[in-house]
Amino acid sequence: MDLKELTIQKTQTGLKNKSFSSVELVKSSLEQIKKENKDLNAFLTVCEKEALDQAEKIDTKIQRYYKDIKTLFLECPLLGMPVAIKDNFCTKDIKTTAGSKVLADYSPVYDATVVDKIKQAGAIIIGKTNLDAWAHGSSGENSDFGPTKNPFDRNFVPGGSSSGSAVAVASNMVLGAIGTDTGGSIRQPASFCNIVGLKPTYGRVSRYGVIAMASSLDTVGCFGKDVIDTALLLKIMAGHDDYDATTSILSVPDYPEEMKKEIKDLKIGLPKEYFTSGLDKEIKEKIEKVIKNFEKMGAKIIEISLPHTQYALAVYYIIQPSEVSSNLARYDGIRYGFDRSQFGDEAKRRIMLGTFTLSSGYYDAYYLKAMKVRTLIKKDFEEAFKKVDILLTPVSPSLPFKIGEKTQDPLKMYLSDIFTVTANLAGIPGLSLPAGLVDNLPVGFQLLGPQFSEEKLFQAAYQYKQNE
Amino acid sequence: MSFNVFIGLEIHIELKTNSKMFCNCANDCFEAEPNTHTCPVCLGLPGALPVVNQKAIEEVILTGLALGCQIPLFSKFDRKNYFYPDLPKGYQISQFDLPLCQKGNFQEIKIRRVHLEEDTAKLFHETINNEKVSLIDFNRSGVPLMEIVTEPDLRSAVQAKEFLKKLQQLVRFLKVADADMEKGQMRCEPTVNLEIENNGRKFYTPLVEVKNINSFRFVEKAIEYEIKRQLEEFEKTGVEKQAGNKTTRGWDNKNQKTVLQREKEEASDYRYFPEPDLPPMRFTQEQIEIIKKSMPELPEEKTKKLMKDYHLTSQQVKDLIGDEQKMAYFEKALPVLIKEKIDFPQAVNLIINKRIDITKTEPEDLAQAIKSKDKTPQLPQEELEKMVKEVISNNPEIVAQFKKGKVTVIEVLVGQMMGKTKGQANAAQIRGMLREKMI
């Protein structure tokens, strides 16, 4: 068997029909990792034994409750699914490094809420995936454990910072993966690896147990091979958490069911600020094709403006390092991990930037000002969503780039986030979807919606894929 | 040359909520073995997030109301960033520009603000196997800590001490804290400086914040020492207060003096910013009213009431107010005492002098005990009156003191009377007769 042919949906059917066992599934996942990981470097830790043990238990369970198999999968929708988790999620007794040498030997004493939830749903954690250290980066090259490579062309980056999670799904090592998105860290690698990636609304999914990067921007999301798998993963991950005061008490829709409902008179906005000269021509062509397809489906396309877009990256690179500088303070080497000399260049850069922007005398001019502009950016979106249902934009201004191409120029690297940081600043959801290949390299497009409109994004995406 | 003293107080009081400020761990750092009340949140482990203890918020607002503070309807938490081994996150969750309470007045001292933060872990510097080590107990990490800051309105060491005692009594009354200074549940850092007038010109000595004070007595001693030291220092150097020359000194009880700990206090930059893990707090006027309604009778009002309605002496009231258990017993016994027409001061004497076991004696039994004691053979009224007159004329100083308002001295006369009558009299009756004669 080959995971290439499977999705979470198909795997459910397969397990229900006894076409294959959970153990066979896990073995297939582990084989693919053995074959590819040395080169792709998607996984930092592979939980081979634990995964196989759990698969055996699941097979026994399926055997025992076979006459109630439907109920079993209703209770545990991810039963037996091999999934991967970005290595900045705490996993009890499983090494959690955040991609940094500071935590090279660190094993948490507790599971992140999301890890607990997907375990409860029956998923099998195959391993922990590579990332830019502390999730700082847009290419995966900032990992202290070597860069992850793009399965489409191994000389190219897979995007970041959730590099390993995206590659694990794209290269058929697992069926779904969990990641984090602070400025585009799910959407951009999803786009570079030709898969579906969702950054939910801030507050939709618990951050408890996720090693914080920038707390007011961090969101927990997921990667799937298709829209329906992504919707299913979100359904399991989302919801209020007593351990995260910023989670919403809004009930969680049944996304996989809701997404099948047709949206009538869909109005899609194209923010003109996202289609400027900075956008790669070939990407623009791909996006235009997507827009045409939506038009053919009957969607109304409206050009709109998000006037404060030009300030987004500057605002992001003030707020984010400020919070980073505070969040990384606990890694002092006293209780666990190694001392601060183990921080890489990018972490040091952000600690210094953030320490500076929060210092007295500079706070008002930088942090406070940035927070005010952030409110304006949020208002831009609120105004836009009065006119249209969703927005359609590119994910990245450029195609996947070569490993090493931008590492010497942090500013150029930061520009990779230009179309994604806005959603984090505004706290709105963004769904990254494949738009096709250019010279065998993937291009993605992004759907953005108002806060807590994930349902709508899934509906639009599902309809699009049905008609593509 | 004359001088005035300016003292401002910064007081930290640990709240006695059941759980800690931002997690579910038990708030119990005295009885427990070190590091037994900990979790990822109060250990500051990677990924852990704080969630506010609502009870602590309400208790700080209650205290603020009792201190006559304004309660803004919008407040938030901030991160105070600094490195120290007892601070596992590298920042303390505190409140910077929008405290829960502000602009109050207590004991005629202006209160600048009352805010809520988390306590740090506790460090122990010890020698184990001939090796000097520092140990950290995280049981205290994340305990709700209320900070009260006064304006520099206090003018003497004694006044500062009395203010702190009243404050302790208040928070105990509100049942929000035990505020035991020896246990570190109440910590006080006075900031002291002097205004020296010399040849018609006024000089101000540099501000000094004094730390490491763990009793009311040391507050008094440390301030007194500082006043003396600052005077001498100014005479010697003539250095005046200016931006950036505030210093921190610690109270060294062994040598009975303050010692320099840190210079240039104002140079530290905590890089405060709003705590992104906690949404800001919004209250309604109704919520504040509900908290206000839950306020018990405060010590001042209660003292007045007890003296007026039950004829208790101020010492008796002080003893009762200082002991929650005894006060509760007295209040429980009141209906019975009233019904049985028992003399209140007499009953209170039994209660505060531990002549009865209040955990075992029902108020009815207390009333009966007093009554049966009163049934001892009584001398005739005329004889008693004669004796009262004698006692009064034999003790002119005591009578004078009584008339000046020191009503407790009456007990000296009651004692003499009981001796004279060989116990064949009712103390309450005698007290009444004495009082009548002296007024």
Q: Domain ranges in chain A?
A: 3-467
pLDDT in tens, B281-326: 999 999 999 999 999 988 888 888 888 888 888 888 888 888 888 8
| Nearest residue, CB atoms, B47 vs list A209, A322, A355 | A209
pLDDT for residue B267 is more than 60: no
> Do A313 and A421 form a contact (C-beta atoms < 8 A)?
yes
Phi, psi angles (nearest 5°) of residue A62: -60, -40
Nearest residue in A to B276, CA atom: A216
Which 34-63 residues of chain B touch chain A by CB within 8 A? 40, 43-52
| Host H or E run for residue B299 | helix B299-310
The C-alpha atoms of residue B93 and residue B76 are separated, in whole angstroms, by: 10
Q: What is the pLDDT along chain A (468 residues), one digit of tens a residue?
A: 788 889 999 999 999 999 999 999 999 999 999 999 999 999 999 999 999 999 999 999 999 999 999 999 999 999 999 999 999 999 999 999 999 999 999 999 999 999 999 999 999 999 999 999 999 999 999 999 999 999 999 999 999 999 999 999 999 999 999 999 999 999 999 999 999 999 999 999 999 999 999 999 999 999 999 999 999 999 999 999 999 999 999 999 999 999 999 888 999 999 999 998 889 999 999 999 999 999 999 999 999 999 999 999 999 999 999 999 999 999 999 999 999 999 999 999 999 999 999 998 999 999 999 999 999 999 999 999 999 999 999 999 999 999 999 998 888 888 889 999 999 999 999 999 999 999 999 999 999 999 999 999 999 999 999 987
Does residue B371 surpass a pLDDT of 80? no
Does residue B291 contact residue B62 with C-beta atoms inside 8 Å?
A: yes
Tokens matching residue A230: 């992504």
Residue B278 has φ and ψ, to the nearest 5°, of -125, 120
Nearest chain A residue to B136 by CA: give it.
A335
For chain B, what is the radius of gyration of the CA atoms? 27
What gap in Å lies between CA B344 and CA A195, rounded to an integer?
Answer: 84
Of B210-214, B329-333, B417-421, minimum mean pLDDT range? B417-421
Using the 3D structure, point to which of B258, B287, B316 is the last residue of a domain.
Answer: B287
Q: What pLDDT score does B319 carry?
A: 87
Residue with tokens 């397809």: A293
Token output for B316: 């008796």
- At residue A435, the 3 state secondary structure works out as strand
Region of residue A103 (phi > 0: left; psi between -120 and 50: alpha; otherwise: beta): alpha
What amino acid occupies position B315?
Q
What per-residue string of b and e applies to B98-119 under the rule 16 or more CB within 10 Å gives b? bbbbbebebbebebbbbbbbbb
Contact list in B for residue A211 (CB cut-off 8 A) is: 46-47
**Of B432, B161, B183, B165, the residue nearest B321 (C-alpha):** B165
**Shortest Cα–Cα distance, A81 to chain B (Å):** 25
User: What's the pLDDT at A467?
Assistant: 85
Task: Report the C-alpha dihedral over residues A445, A449, A452, A457, rounded to 10 degrees.
Answer: -50
- What does the alpha-carbon distance between residue A96 and residue A87 come to, in Å, rounded to a whole number? 5
**Are B353 and B419 members of one domain?**
no
Marked catalytic residue, from A143, A161, A396, A432: A161
CA distances to A122, A265, A399, B264 from A257, rounded to whole Å, are: 20, 20, 34, 64
Q: How many domains does chain B have?
A: 3
Alpha-carbon distance of B59 to B116, in angstroms, equals: 10
If residue B64 lies in a helix (H) or strand (E), which one and from where to where? helix B54-66
Average pLDDT, integer, range B370-377: 68
**Is the pLDDT reported for residue B88 higher than 60?**
yes
B228 and B245 in a single domain? The answer is yes
Task: Note whether A193 and A166 are within 8 A (CB).
Answer: yes
- The neighbour count for residue B379, using CB atoms within 10 Å, is 14
Residues B303 and B430 both lie in one domain: no
In angstroms, the CA A230 to CA A235 distance is: 9
* pLDDT-wise least confident of A83-92, A326-335, B117-126, B371-380: B371-380
What are the residues of chain A with a beta carbon less than 8 Å away from any beta carbon of chain B?
89-90, 96, 98, 103, 106, 108-110, 112, 207-212, 214-216, 242-246, 322-323, 325-326, 328-332, 334-336, 355, 358-360, 363, 367
Stated as kind and residue range, the H or E segment containing B124 is: strand B122-128
Contact B47 A335 (CB under 8 A): no
Of all residues in chain B, what percent carry a pLDDT higher than 70?
Answer: 97
Q: Among B44, B47, B85, select the one facing A208 at the smallest CB separation.
A: B47
Select from B40, B49, B89 the Cβ nearest to the Cβ of A244.
B49
**One of A28, A138, A185, A398 is an active-site residue; which one?**
A185
CA separation for the pair A46, A61 (Å, rounded):
24
Nearest to A329 among B40, B48, B89 (CB): B89
Q: What is the pLDDT of residues B148-200, one digit of tens each?
A: 999 999 999 999 999 999 999 999 999 999 999 999 999 999 999 999 998 88
Asked if the Cβ–Cβ distance from B45 to A207 is below 8 Å, we say no
Q: Is B200 an 8 Å CB contact of chain A? A: no
Name every residue whose Cβ is closer than 8 Å to that of residue B431 and which is 6 or more positions away in sequence: B343, B345, B346, B410, B414
Write the single-letter amino acid at A28: S
Strands B2-14 and B74-75: unpaired
In this complex, which of A90, A209, A326 lies closest to B81 when CB atoms are compared? A326
B103 lies in some domain: yes
Structure tokens at A302: 């409206």
Higher pLDDT, B266 or A186: A186
CATH code of the domain in which B420 resides: 1.10.10.410
The mean-pLDDT minimum among A246-250, B39-43, B269-273, B311-315 falls in: B311-315
Task: Please check whether residues B278 and B356 belong to one and the same domain.
Answer: no
- Tokens representing A144 are 């202290």
Would you call B195 helix, strand, or coil by DSSP?
A: strand
In a domain, B292, yes or no: no
The mean pLDDT value of chain B amounts to 91
- The predicted model gives B202-224 an average pLDDT of 94
Nearest CA in chain B to A357: B271
List the single residue in A106, A215, A335 with the smallest CB-CB distance to B277.
A215
Place of tokens 């010399």: B198
Does residue B194 fall inside a structural domain?
Answer: yes
CATH class held by domain A3-467: alpha beta
Write out chain A residues lying below 8 Å of B50, CB-based: 245
**Distance (Å) from the alpha carbon of B50 to chain A's nearest alpha carbon:** 7
The ipTM is 0.96
Phi-psi region of A299 (alpha: psi -120 to 50; beta: other; left: phi over 0): beta
Q: What is the pLDDT of residue B354?
A: 65
The angle subtended at Cα B391 by Cα B388 and Cα B394, nearest 5°, is 150
A161 is catalytic: yes
Do B175 and B328 meet the contact criterion of CB atoms below 8 Å apart?
no
Q: What angle is formed at CA B401 by the lines to CA B396 and CA B404, rounded to 5 degrees?
A: 125
pLDDT at B424 over 80: no
* Chain A interface, best mutation among B22, B35, B49, by max A CB count within 10 A: B49
Exposed, middle or buried by CB within 10 Å (0-12, 13-18, 19+), for B71? Answer: buried
- Residues in A closer than 8 angstroms to B269, CB to CB, are 359-360
B89 and A330 within 8 Å at the Cβ level: the answer is yes
Surface-to-core class of residue A20, CB atoms within 10 Å of its CB (0-12 exposed, 13-18 middle, 19+ buried): middle
Q: Which residue has the higher pLDDT, B349 or B14?
A: B14
Please state, in angstroms and rounded to a whole number, the distance separating the CA atoms of residues B4 and B9: 16
Closest CA to A381 of A451, A435, A436, A325: A451
Tokens of A458: 């899934």
**Cα separations (Å) of A263 from A200, A460, A463?**
20, 7, 9
Q: Which chain A residues are Cβ-neighbours of B43 within 8 angstroms?
A: 335
Q: Are residues B60 and B119 in the same domain?
A: yes
Do residues A103 and A97 lie in contact, with contact meaning Cβ atoms separated by under 8 Å? yes
**Residue B266 in this model has a pLDDT that exceeds 60:** no
Asked which of B327, B349, B374 is the last residue of a domain, the reply is: B374
- CA atoms of B9 and A20, how far apart (whole Å): 73
Residues of A in contact with B47 (CB under 8 A): 89-90, 108, 112, 207-212
Q: Which residues of chain A lie closer than 8 angstroms to B48, CB-CB?
A: 208-209
Q: Which residue of A106, A208, A326 is in closest CB contact with B79?
A: A326
Give the residue with greater pLDDT, B348 vs A317. Answer: A317
Measured in angstroms, the CA of A357 and the nearest CA of chain B are apart by 9
- Rounded to whole angstroms, the Cα distance separating A426 from A452 reads 12
Alpha-carbon dihedral angle through residues B203, B209, B215, B216, given to the nearest 10 degrees? 30
Q: How many whole angstroms separate alpha carbon B297 and alpha carbon B309?
A: 15
Residue in A440, A396, A387 with CA at minimum distance from that of residue A421: A396
Residue B89 has pLDDT above 90, yes or no: yes
Same domain, B224 and B329: no
Residue B427: domain span: 381-438
Q: How confident is the model at residue B115 (pLDDT cuts 50, 70, 90)?
A: very high
Residue B276: name the closest of A454, A27, A247, A214 by CA: A214
Are B49 and A245 in contact (CB < 8 Å)? yes
Tell me the C-alpha distance between A332 and A429, whole Å.
Answer: 34
Residue B72 placed within a domain:
yes
Count how many pairs of residues, chain A against chain B, have C-beta atoms within 8 Å.
94
- Among B352, B374, B396, the domain boundary falls at B374
Neighbours of B411 (CB within 10 A): 18
Alpha-carbon distances, residue B282 vs A163, A203, B71 (angstroms)? 40, 18, 11
CB A98 within 8 A of CB A330: no
Distance from CA of B115 to the nearest CA of A (A): 20
A86 is catalytic: yes
Express the helix, strand and coil content of chain A in percent, nearest 5 each.
Answer: 45, 15, 40
User: What is the rounded distance in angstroms from the CA atom of residue A191 to the CA atom of residue A188?
Assistant: 5
Lowest-confidence range among A196-210, B100-114, B262-276?
B262-276
Six token digits for residue A464: 């699009």
Alpha-carbon distances, residue B94 vs A320, B141, B144 (angstroms): 21, 13, 10
Full DSSP string of B201-223: EEEEPPPEEEE---SHHHHHHHH
pLDDT interval class at B265 (50, 70, 90): low
Residue B94 has pLDDT above 90, yes or no: yes
B45 and B25 Cβ atoms separated by less than 8 Å: no
DSSP character string of A150-190: BTTBTTB---SSSHHHHHHHHTTS-SEEEEEESSSTTHHHH
